Amino acid sequence: MTAVPPGPSTAPSSKRDAVVRALMDLAASKDWHEIEIADIAKAAGVSLAEFRELFPSKGAILGAFSRMIDLKVLEGTFDDLAGEPARERIFDVMMRRIDALTPYKAALRRMTRDLQFDLPALAALNQVGLNSQRFMLAAANISTEGRLGHLKLQGANLVFGNTLRVWLRDDDPALAKTMARLDRELRRGEGLLEQAEDLRRLTAPFRAFGRAFMEQRSPSQKTTASENGETRDPAAAI
């Protein structure tokens, strides 16, 4: 008998999706710290061995969930935003992200409550958020390169996080409070970014002086780190 190739339901990507959805389903009805990996595996229909191959922890599943939401947003078209001001483009993309999160609102509400004082988890989720916002800003045709790139990413992450907290309590189908908060956060962020750009221009002469001073260091000073075996690829931090 010819072996039948595994169907889509047994593909690794499908199993990953099943685990992600199982966690979000469980999180809608159970506290975060009550959810065991065995519970997730059982709900997803995978063995613990398969679970281990797919994810190292519950937190890693949240990272996969965030990427899943990224893809849902990015699969849309953004041609209609081309002629809009930057703030309107970002507003539209962030609202699309909220729309993609809507089926998981109950789970996100519980998780936000359970993890609000877990500092290591919040730090990890901040990094996940930064990665997502890099693509959200790209969809809005906002550059995240250059000296202010990281500030834009962190600012977008903060804007979305503050808006998300309002959305989690906003049961109005029109989401008036959510949209009002997002607009307010974006206007404030826009003002802070303009101040940062002004500060960067004002301090440009001092930065140039500092670079010139560093270039005058002796060769022995320049090679000290290398001799100590402490140099590393700067790209590793990106």
DSSP letter for 146, please: S
Give me the mean pLDDT over the 51-77 stretch.
94
CB 39 within 8 A of CB 26: yes
What average pLDDT does the segment 8-37 reach?
87
Report, as an integer, the average pLDDT of 77-81. Answer: 86
pLDDT-derived band of residue 11, with 50, 70 and 90 as boundaries? low
What average pLDDT is seen over the chain?
Answer: 82
Mean of pLDDT values over 202-230: 48
Question: Is residue 35 scored above 80 in pLDDT?
Answer: yes
Q: pLDDT category, 82, cuts 50, 70, 90? A: confident
The pLDDT of residue 237 is above 60: no
Dump pLDDT digits (tens) for 118-145.
888 888 899 999 999 999 999 999 998 8
pLDDT band (50, 70, 90) for residue 168:
very high
Higher pLDDT among residues 193 and 38, named by residue: 38
Q: Using CA atoms, how far apart are residues 138 and 135, in angstroms rounded to an integer?
A: 5
User: What is the structure's pLDDT at 189?
Assistant: 83
Q: Cα angle vertex 44, ends 38, 48, to 5°?
A: 40
Indicate if the pLDDT at residue 48 is higher than 90.
yes
Class (C level, CATH) for 12-56: mainly alpha
The answer to whether 90 and 156 are in contact (CB under 8 A) is: yes
Mean pLDDT of 4-22: 70
Q: What is the 3-state secondary structure (H, E, C) of 187-229?
A: HHHHHHHHHHHHHHHHCHHHHHHHHHHHHCCCHHHHHHHHHCC
**Which amino acid belongs to residue 47?**
S
State pTM to two decimals: 0.75
pLDDT at 78: 87
Find all residues with CB under 8 Å of 72, minimum gap 6, and list them. Answer: 100
